Structure 1
Amino acid sequence: MDGNWFEFVAMQGIQARNAFFVIMVPLKFVPKFFKFDDNSLPPSLRAQRTLNKSRIPQISRYITENPKEYILSSLCACVDGEVKFEPSEISNNMGKLKISMDATVLINDGQHRRAAIEEAIKVNPHLGEETISVVLYADQGLKRSQQMFADLNMHAVKPAQSIKLLFNHRDEQTHITKSVIEAIPLFSEFTDFEKSSISNRSTKIFTFSSIHQATKELLSYKNNKLNTQESIQIASQFWQEVIQYIPGWLDLQEGKTSSFHLRQNYIHAHGIALQALARVGNMLLQNYSENWQNHLSKLIHVEWSRKNLAIWDGRALVAGKINKSRNNLVLVTNYIQKVLGLPLSDESQNVEEQFINTQQVKHHTYSNIKEMV
């Protein structure tokens, strides 16, 4: 700080024929120095979207719970006010950046990180001495600020859920999923670890995220006191047992069919079946812990063919396509439970009855139309 100026060591660059600067800012200085798009700014300066306040504690906890490992990408901001860059003797692109204390520094990208940093410092004041890189642009008015925000977010692509989970080495459930996949040849050979949906021509049939979600569902039963290793063992045993009673999966493993053929013709080749099987497994582990394997042999009687519309139309298929809604998941789970001779919960029974009533009305209407024609 120098008189009426904030002063930073900075690097200067050029983009679109305009200068921009990269500075390092102490975290404790971030809340005071940067304004974001909230009610403290006049309407003419509100160039950003509203904060999603549920994200702030998530990011803040990430910082405070990982003080030796957290990583924060650069903030990007516009300076509305006087800016001076004084090159050093060593290089014209390195030197001191002076920003008037009267200037407004408005964040274009990173408003949630800014708010989370503020909360994290309240929990752990020592974090305030650490720094974050900031990319600064001289302000060219509201219209340009809004355009910058649009440009910064235009090409932002969220990574697939599968790859986000795969790279999260802190999460115990992710570790369990990885270990289960490694233990089961069908999973290890036919799982896509990068994408959260399978393309028609893919040789894979499962996604990492679908196995992760299903295994998490499987192990989420009440009074589960299994440690990590025991969870891996039980989950691996369950999926190995299930595989024995789904002929299509066995054929795929033995090279007798293709992933494409299974996806086109069978319900079990889609994530909704995997999750429904996990829900059934959850019930078995909770209520039949001593002999849960015995019940799974009846899976051989499940009619998985998509052509069997009497079973799957409206239950898993809507207009001929797989529907993954919560209601459809309950209905697919119900069908498997009934084949296995397992009772439905009151909630599941209500969903089943509503489905049956809807199907009856649908068929009655269809019959009337045929008669009229």
Structure 2
Amino acid sequence: MVENADDQLRVSTTPAMSGLYEYAFPAIRGVQAGRVYFVSMCPLKLLPRLFVWDDDDLPAELRAQRTLNKGRIPEIVRYLEENPGSYTFSAITASIDASVQFVSAQAGELNSGLGTLRIPMDGRFIINDGQHRRAAIEQVLRTNPELGDESIAVVFFLDKGLERCQQMFADLNRWAVRPSPSIGVLYDHRDPLAAVSRTVAAQSPVLRNFVETESSSLPKGTRKMFTLSAVHGAHRALFADTAVDGYQEMVDTAMGMWGALDRQFPEWEMVRAREVHAREIRADFIHTHGIVLTAVGRVCNTLLLDGVPVKRWQQRLAPLAKLDWSRTNTALWEGRAIVGGTVSKNRSNVMLTTAALRTHLGMPLTLDEQNAEDNRKAHA
């Protein structure tokens, strides 16, 4: 916890240049695109008081921000609550609608970058980037007020009007790209299942050296057969609602699943033996794609819940070897794993693909799978 956090943002008793009381931020001054801006720290407990969101009722063209998406907030709240000792937040960017004064920390040095940013208390703070973080922090502070003494970086720009604020929002989000799901699994050291997926991808004789760990799509020339995100998706389906939660037990179970699957798809061995290129297999068959791996994970999840020993999974899955997995088998896969000639992995397609596998294996469908089948037949 930060001691004396209030010293980082205090209300001065000295009248400001406009004759009002003021906020005083210890800050660093910089210049970007010819405009002065400031970087400071703000205690989390003061964020809700300083940055008030009240623009939801305005039309989009009159706002400096998009409407607050309340559906995003619970995920950020959960992240904070589950990781109070290791969370990481990037800086909030805000514009100040007020006449401010920067007082250099070193007397007589007008160009010093260190000093105090003095802002009238009647000034308005407009968040250009970070309103969802602010809303989540406000919610978490209700149940964990101690977190309020910690701080977050704030970058202050001077407000040059609505048009400039809107342009800042557009520019700040112009280059924002979410990392691929695969690299998210690779770098996630909080999720135990991600650790299992990394270990299995690195150690399984079936997967080792054939899993793309950075991208969630495979380049045409790659020798990789699977993406780490697809492997992780199969594991998520495999362990859903099970009592298997120990790291080594999960690794052993997942390794058993991949070993059992490998016997059903001889093309996998052909790729490993360099008898055929991975791109040819992916172009001709669907069994290396994420939708099938997730569907098989769901099937194996049932075996796990039914208490079938992993060593018997190969026998139970043996009928899969007789399925025609080729893309040209449109009678089976079109509308299930394939839509308009392209492999599709939305929820409905996963349900329909799993239903096809269960039917072939003589297993009953789940309610979701049966509903997907009924809906497909109704629209046939």
* Same topology, TM > 0.5: yes
Query: Which letter maps to 2:171?
Result: D
- CA drift of 1:211 comes to 0.8
CA contact (8 A) 1:37 1:48 kept: no
Q: Name whichever of 261-270 and 43-52 sits farther off.
A: 43-52
Of residues 26, 29, 35, the one that matches 1:18 is 35
Of residues 343, 349, 364, the one that matches 1:343 is 364
Query: Which letter maps to 1:328?
Result: N
Structure 1 match to 2:46 = 29
Structure 2 unmatched runs, 5+: 1-10, 15-20
- CA drift of 1:236 comes to 1.0
Structure 1 unmatched runs, 5+: 360-373
Of residues 245, 265, 270, the one that matches 2:284 is 265
Cα distance in 2 for residues equivalent to 1:357 and 1:34:
52
Cα distance in 2 for residues equivalent to 1:346 and 1:124:
40
Of residues 289, 295, 308, the one that matches 2:308 is 289
Structure 1 match to 2:137 = 117
Structure 1 match to 2:18 = none
Query: Which letter maps to 1:308?
Result: N
Cα distance in 1 for residues equivalent to 2:40 and 2:378:
65
What TM-score, normalized to structure 1? 0.88
CA contact (8 A) 1:272 1:329 kept: yes
Structure 1 match to 2:257 = 238
Cα distance in 2 for residues equivalent to 1:107 and 1:70:
21
CA contact (8 A) 2:60 2:66 kept: no
Listed one character per residue, the Cα deviations across residues 153-206 of structure 1 (whole Å, up to 9, x for unaligned) are 011111111112221111111122122222313322111111122233332221
Cα distance in 2 for residues equivalent to 1:159 and 1:124:
30
Q: 1:336 to 1:41 in 2, by over 3 A?
A: closer
Alignment of 1:190 onto 2:210: yes
Query: Which letter maps to 2:284?
Result: N
- What is the SS of the residue equivalent to 1:267? coil
Query: Which letter maps to 2:66?
Result: R
- CA drift of 1:6 comes to 0.7
- CA drift of 1:65 comes to 2.9
Listed one character per residue, the Cα deviations across residues 44-95 of structure 1 (whole Å, up to 9, x for unaligned) are 8631111111322322332233222111111100000120011232662111
Alignment of 1:68 onto 2:85: yes
Listed one character per residue, the Cα deviations across residues 254-275 of structure 1 (whole Å, up to 9, x for unaligned) are 1111111011100112111111
Cα distance in 1 for residues equivalent to 2:342 and 2:57:
49
Listed one character per residue, the Cα deviations across residues 202-244 of structure 1 (whole Å, up to 9, x for unaligned) are 322211111111111012255x355332122111111111112
Structure 2 match to 1:256 = 275
Structure 2 match to 1:214 = 234
Of residues 331, 352, 355, the one that matches 1:310 is 331
Listed one character per residue, the Cα deviations across residues 243-296 of structure 1 (whole Å, up to 9, x for unaligned) are 122011111111111111011100112111111111221222223614433212
- What is the SS of the residue equivalent to 2:208? helix
Query: Which letter maps to 2:30?
Result: G
Of residues 55, 64, 80, the one that matches 1:38 is 55
Q: 1:19 to 1:206 in 2, by over 3 A?
A: same
Query: Which letter maps to 1:326?
Result: R
Q: Name whichever of 144-153 and 331-340 sits farther off.
A: 331-340
Q: Name whichever of 337-346 and 81-90 sits farther off.
A: 337-346
CA contact (8 A) 1:81 1:99 kept: yes
Identity over the aligned pairs, expressed in percent?
Answer: 41
- What is the SS of the residue equivalent to 1:76? strand
Q: 1:332 to 1:45 in 2, by over 3 A?
A: closer
Listed one character per residue, the Cα deviations across residues 1-42 of structure 1 (whole Å, up to 9, x for unaligned) are 223111111111111111000111111111111233535989
Query: Which letter maps to 1:307?
Result: T
Q: 1:93 to 1:348 in 2, by over 3 A?
A: closer
- What is the SS of the residue equivalent to 1:135? strand
CA contact (8 A) 2:263 2:314 kept: no
What root-mean-square deviation, in Å, do the aligned CA atoms of Structure 1 and Structure 2 show?
Answer: 2.3
Alignment of 1:325 onto 2:361: no
Listed one character per residue, the Cα deviations across residues 315-365 of structure 1 (whole Å, up to 9, x for unaligned) are 322222222233322232233223323333465345446546765xxxxxx
What TM-score, normalized to structure 2? 0.87
- Whose helix proportion is higher, 1 or 2? 1
Query: Which letter maps to 1:216?
Result: R
- What is the SS of the residue equivalent to 1:237? helix
Q: Name whichever of 227-236 and 208-217 sits farther off.
A: 227-236
CA contact (8 A) 2:233 2:290 kept: no
Cα distance in 2 for residues equivalent to 1:300 and 1:47:
57
Q: Name whichever of 235-244 and 307-316 sits farther off.
A: 307-316
Query: Which letter maps to 2:246?
Result: N
- What is the SS of the residue equivalent to 1:303? coil
Structure 2 match to 1:301 = 322
Of residues 151, 154, 166, the one that matches 1:131 is 151
Count of residues paired in the alignment = 358
Cα distance in 1 for residues equivalent to 2:307 and 2:27:
66
Of residues 176, 180, 194, the one that matches 1:156 is 176
Query: Which letter maps to 1:34?
Result: F
Q: 1:43 to 1:281 in 2, by over 3 A?
A: closer
CA contact (8 A) 1:37 1:45 kept: no
- CA drift of 1:299 comes to 2.1
